[in-house]
Chain A
Amino acid sequence: MPGVHDRGGWPTDDPIDQEEHPVMDWEVRMSALLGALRGKGLMRTDEMRRGIESIDPSRYESIGYYARWAESVESILAEKGIFTREEIDGKMGELSGGAG
């Protein structure tokens, strides 16, 4: 049984959805942030891939492309000790609190 990311040849007759969704600011931001981390050698392509491929299979299928990136970057940087997940939780609460 291949991993959830290994999609080649998975049986489906569904037509390809050719509709484009409008790009969201956070997706652009995510992409740029990854670029910055790559430039510093903190996120290599193989690490990025490993992070994406480690996402829980049902979650992998239910979230979008850049959300997978966010999951991967967070797990790899936490693994490297660059930050902890708790720090991100804390900052998220702080930012939401400030905005609300």
Chain B
Amino acid sequence: MSESHGHEHPGMAHDEELGYYARRVRAMEAVLVEKGIVSGEEVERLVAEGEARTPADGARIVARAWTDPGFKNRLLADAKAAVAEMGYSESESLPDVVVAENTDGVHHLVVCTLCSCYPTWLLGRPPDWYKSLTYRSRAVIDPRGVMGEFGLELEEGVVVKVLDSTADVRYLVLPQRPAGTEGWSEVELARLVTRDSMVGVSRPLTPETVVG
């Protein structure tokens, strides 16, 4: 078998390949435009929409769930419907989104072993490590080791649940609200919510890291 997976760079290919795919994609787009299947403006609009999506969107949702128990319940019961209340709606029939709540006893970690499925419309583009063959292999057999590499050491008694995304279901982790944030507003809380904490490889920031 190939040994190439030892040093792969997800999203990064050889220079030659990059040039090839850059030209190939440009050619596909040009042919599709000529045939009237897509328009350049449409692609431009989608580029702009894609760029506008960032982990700040997921962070707003998490902060709302931390401050509004009713919203949290709705989010855990039907995430798509709940986030639509905040203006995050998708016209396309995108895969379902399930929000998994971390507690004192249970910690969730999200992976997509088969592909690199990710809730892009709530978190923006997935990081390269999420798409790497190494993460996809190891997250399911050595989740604690993986989390350790990201600096997250869970206590012995905490149950780790690994959520493997599919073409039909994407996951977002609802991390635990950090201690010492009593009385914080949603906007203040959202600053603590990192992308990695919503994938489950780390905890949210602590108040000390953002204050002063």
> A residues touching B (Cβ–Cβ < 8 Å)?
5-12, 14-21, 23-33, 35-40, 42, 45-46, 49, 52, 57-58, 61-67, 70, 73-74, 77, 82-83, 87-89, 91-92, 95-96
Does B12 sit at the interface, judged by CB under 8 A?
yes
Min CB distance B95 to A, Å, is 6
Q: Which residues of B contact A57 (CB under 8 A)?
A: 2
Contact (Cβ within 8 A) A19 B24: no
Q: Is the beta-carbon distance between B47 and A28 smaller than 8 angstroms?
A: yes
Q: How far is the CB of A39 from chain B (nearest CB, A)?
A: 6
Q: Which residue of A lies closest to B127 (CB)?
A: A20
Q: A8-B137, A42-B37 are in contact. Are A36 and B46 (CB under 8 A)?
A: yes
- Interface residue total, chain B, C-beta cutoff 8 A: 65
- In the complex, what's the smallest C-beta–C-beta distance from A69 to chain B, in angstroms? 9
**A35 vs B35: C-alpha distance when bound (angstroms):** 17
Q: Is B13 a contact of A16 with CB atoms below 8 Å?
A: no
For the complex, is B74 an interface residue (Cβ under 8 Å from A)? no
Once the chains bind, are B2 and A19 in contact (CB under 8 Å)?
no
CB–CB B31/A91 < 8 A: yes
Structural contact, B26 and A32, CB atoms closer than 8 A: no
